[in-house]
A = this chain, B = another copy of it.
């Protein structure tokens, strides 16, 4: 009897987890396809295969789902970032680590999304995804920290951080649209631009 109840409870836990994931997956897709503003709870519910009521058992609103996705993204990103930052010692290597980690994450998200939506003719994706947004904030913080620490006198750190972030974001978006997806090249581009400007940019062959 105890066993039965235990298993029952376990089954319940499993279901709860599965539902939670179903909602998150559905929401990620919907947000990616039509954007957070345009997305309705009904869109998410429809896609998740659950009932409206179930949705509200797990999340109180569209916003809460958004945050859950964002948190999830940030949580998954942190180890990537730490791995890349491990042996960075100067500004350039930190920059490379952060940008590289960001691009790796974006590429991973994009691949997951490609794998899932094999057939459907989809729309924008990527930019608006809550995970990317959250990860982006993470990168922003890192940049600011690194610059405040490693960059000696006189340069406008707020402006520089903002610029780096903007470039990373923009190039990240462009990168996933290209085939083959080359995070290395993208990282090189960003780092070289920031470190040496146009004359320093990598030259493409052909």
Contacts and interface: CB of A to CB of B under 8 A. Distances in A.
Interface string A137-168: 00000000000000101111011101101110
A195 B197 contact: yes
Interface of A is mostly: helix
B156 A189 contact: yes
A38 interface: yes
Interface of A: 35, 37-38, 91, 151, 153-156, 158-160, 162-163, 165-167, 169-171, 173-174, 186, 189-190, 192-205
> Which of A167, A169, A173, A194 has the largest count of B CB atoms less than 10 A from its CB?
A167
Contacts of A195: 197-199
B153 A203 contact: yes
By Cβ-Cβ distance, the 5 closest A-B pairs, closest first, are: A154-B203, A37-B37, A166-B166, A166-B170, A196-B197
